[in-house]
Structure 1
Amino acid sequence: MKQTPDLDRMKRDLAALIAMPSENPPGHEAQVADYVAACLKPLGFVITRDEYEAGRVNIEARLDNGPGPVFALNTHMDVVPAGTGWQHDPFTMTEEGGRLYGRGSSDCKGSLVCMMEAGRMLAADRAEWRGTLLLVFVADEEVASVGARRYVTTAPHIDYVIVGEPTSNTTYAAHKGSLRPLVRVHGTPAHSGTPDLGDNAIYRAAALVNMVAAEHADVVRHIDHPLVGAASLTITRASGGHADNVVPQGCELLLDRRMVPGEDEEAVKAQIASLLARANAQAGVRAEIVEFRPTTGGAVETPADHVIVQQGLAVCRANGVAEPGPFGFQGACDLVHFCNAGAAGVVIGPGVLSVAHKADEYVPEADLPVAACIYRDMVIALMPV
């Protein structure tokens, strides 16, 4: 008989993890990693702790159970900064109306406690499955996915992965990716009393802004994907000038390009470079890409007929999820890095995506045991005896 989740224990775990402020920046996931190790090591998991910078830690808990596939349950230990506007203490779990409030409750410490609980159940009932189970909890997903990128370079071959993100316990088989080029527009400085002697970089940037908007409207938003929707191109930051009485010599624009599965990252970079070349030819805009700012990574899709997607739908449905998917993330997550390393994966987790990154973030209490059972049953289904 399958083990069942202990909701009270899961809530204690979640309360403990919420109280650990692993806000990124700066991260400081070490305390979370040490808590995970203390919970799982007594159950027979072999713990590997990788502190790649001071306080920045990946942790792997490995349970070998005979020959068979390698299955990873992965999520991240960092959270976005708490910010303002909370009606509840962001670092004290508050129970109210069937909801568990706190920063990270949905994104992604709820997934983490459910994966730990699934690990406990699977460790207690090894007759139900065969292979190697990995619980992989990484740093820095919210900024640049340094943790996941680093982990997959030295990880063993992984056959299957479930990445925990708030999906309301449905199956997501695809997610978007992102590029953030920082573009510098050049001008010629002059005294602001004689502006005609200079070339105002902000005016030049304004012409480029209009071309970026047109590129999104006419081209990019028509690149569509059935699960994640349309690609996009927008500007999220602008900064120009260096003195109140000087015609600006420079203006910087941060572009945000969201890619859909099937788009090639190098081809997208070439399209952005082509846009800057057209701006120069048509409007005299002298612009260059200074750098590509760190992002979570590229887009990915696991085919709908793949066994892990089909099992995800079946297991979610069997655990009471009426519409299990498959769906797609508008944002990005660490799935792409595991897939690039050869794993097949999906994204499943407790919590409501619409409240992630917001004040009064919460996870529905009822989501937790369901998610733990989904993780348990996915391992059993794909790692048969």
Structure 2
Amino acid sequence: MRRELTQCVERKVDELVSLTQDLIAFPTINPPGEAYRPCAEFIGRRLKKRGFSVEYIRGESAPGDTDRYPRINVVCRYEGRGPGPCIHFNSHIDVVEVGYGWSVDPFAGVIKDGKIFGRGACDMKGGLAASIIAAETLIECFPEFCGAIEISGTVDEESGGLGGVAYLAKRGYFSKPKVDHVIIPEPLHKDQVCLGHRGVWWSEIETRGSIAHGSMPFLGDSAIRHMGAFLSALEDDLYPALGNRHTQMPVIPPGARSSTLNINSLHGGQDEGHDGLPSPCVADSCRIILDRRFLIEEPLDKVKGEIVEILENLRKTRPNFKYELKDLLEVLPVMTDKNSPVAQAVAGGIRDVLQKDAAYVVSPGTYDQKHITRLGHLHDCIAYGPGKLEMAHRPDEFVGIEDLVDSAKVMALAAYSLLCEPEAQPLRKQSDHVHS
């Protein structure tokens, strides 16, 4: 029966490719949140024709939600022939900005060399398409299953997920008894089960100064120079310390097994005019956005405390140093037990399809598992999907067609294991060896 399921997926290759192209064609760029509604409605129309109930939920009052850019999520549910568990496939429909350096139209779904190119092809419309085909195939091949299958297309994952999965999780959409198992088809390689992610703390720091004429800077106080002192302290003290910290979490790529700090943006002084000429003033404000990724071994209060300590030392030792620190986002590290039902079901599918043991990994960046665990209190959740993580957000982003097909087979087999043969779960546990 498992072979019948994978053969059925193979017969749907053209449909899988076409569906991926159709999803790429929606320019769901976030920010600002374009084309959310038409993309959600496209998913809803397709699944309604196949017997799913469809619900559209707007993330009202979430960051970025406006009448022009409404945060529209779609949740589709197919009820089996009797009571049983529910497996939910959750994919985000938003994509990041296009950026420079493309050799193809980023929303045309160009096929070349066995790959589909486009913004979101890898992250993660290919995964969404593969999960839809997997679910439809299971329903077609085994209509007598007990339980339920859900598929959702949610928004704003790229900006924190507050108008998407977080909004839904607060309202019980990712909690028992409605949902038992969650697979998020993020692009973490088709032979790997992603158990979770590192933690993240986003913060904004503003240094203050005093405005004066640019020809007489001695009459003012440059906020940019104050920020420069802070940056120098980061380079001299914090960056070397972070590089020496390592985690036992199987994070990929290996460089992410250390603590990291990225300076996302820097804004200082007055805006230049339309002609590009500067205002001749001393900067009285400078802002910086920090992206700190931390390990499961690091307490959040220590992560924050290191930044505060640098700022306080500057306040005490540097004349007129004034600052304001603002929290933007904080998420603790998450890691599901690799012997959980959904992790083992996916690992069994990988073994059947690829003839190899699955590797268990952890993502360097967060994704919507954080909300499902934290707000939905549902811990049987992993990420698994087609695509290579290193292609996400890059120009000429692509997903391999073979990877799409293989991952659809794995997801179909995982759903079969959880809905049609739960008694087989104990037999599908792998050894305690963690692949890295």
Instruction: Tell me whether 1:338 sits opposite 2:380 in the alignment.
Output: no
Q: TM-score, normalised by structure 2?
A: 0.81
Counterpart among 348, 368, 371 of residue 407 in structure 2: 371
Q: How does 1:15-164 map to 2 (within 5 A)?
A: 15-27=21-33, 28-52=35-59, 53=65, 54=67, 55-65=70-80, 66-126=82-142, 129-146=145-162, 147-154=164-171, 155=173, 156-157=175-176, 158-164=179-185
Q: Deviations over 1:34-74 (max 9, x none)?
A: 11111111222111111334442111111222222222111
CA deviation map 1:95-153 (0-9, x unaligned): 11111111211111101111111121122244574322211210111122121111111
Q: Which amino acid aligns with 2:170?
A: T
Q: How does the TM-score come out when normalised to structure 1?
A: 0.91
From 260, 265, 269, the counterpart of 1:232: 260
Q: CA RMSD in A?
A: 2.3
Q: Quote the residue 2:341 is aligned against.
A: 307
Q: Match of 2:391?
A: 355
CA deviation after TM superposition for structure 1 residue 262, in Å: 5.1
Change (3 A) 1:77 1:278: same
Q: d(CA) in 1 for partners of 2:118 and 2:212?
A: 52
The residue aligned with 1:259 is: 294
Distance change in 2, residues 1:217/1:269 (3 Å): closer
Contact 2:348/2:414 (8 A) holds in 1? no
Unaligned runs of 5+ in 2: 60-64, 252-256, 271-277, 422-436
Contact 2:206-2:324 within 8 A present in 1 as well: yes
The residue matched to 1:108 in structure 2 has which SS?
Answer: helix
What is the distance in 2 between the residues matched to 1:260 and 1:135?
31
Deviations 1:60-99 (A, max 9, x none): 1112222222221111111112223211111111111111
Asked if 1 retains the 8 angstrom alpha-carbon contact of 2:346 and 2:413, the reply is no
Alignment of 1:215-230 (within 5 A): 215-225=237-247, 226-228=249-251, 229-230=257-258
User: 1:269-291 CA deviation, whole Å, 9 max, x = no partner?
Assistant: 344333322221243432111x3
The 2-side partners of 1:215 and 1:164 are apart by 38
Unaligned runs of 5+ in 1: none
SS in 2 for 1:383: helix
What's the offset of the Cα at 1:165? 1.0
Return the alpha-carbon distance in structure 2 between the equivalents of residues 204 and 238 of structure 1. 13
Deviation at 1:252, TM superposition (A): 1.4
CA contact (8 A) 1:43 1:123 kept: no
Match of 1:316 among 347, 350, 361: 350
Does residue 297 of structure 2 align to residue 272 of structure 1? Answer: no
- The answer on whether the counterparts of 1:159 and 1:342 sit within 8 Å (CA) in structure 2 is no
Farther-moved stretch of structure 1 (153-162 vs 218-227): 218-227
**Following the alignment from structure 1 to structure 2, what is the Cα–Cα distance between the partners of residues 271 and 261?**
16
The Cα shift of 1:201 comes to 1.8
Normalized per residue, the structure richer in strand is: 1
Give the letter aligned to residue 210 of structure 1: S
User: C-alpha separation between the residues in 2 aligned to 1:224 and 1:38?
Assistant: 47
Matched residue count: 383
Contact 1:106-1:350 at 8 Å conserved across structures: yes
Q: Is the 8 A contact 1:260 1:299 kept in 2?
A: yes
Inter-partner Cα distance in structure 2 for 1:188 and 1:181: 23
* Structure 2 Cα separation of the partners of residues 269 and 368 of structure 1: 40
1:13 equivalent in alignment to 2:19: yes
Contact persistence 1:212–1:233 (CA under 8 A)? no
Structure 2: how far apart are the matches of 1:305 and 1:263? 24
Letter of the 2:160 partner, please give it: A
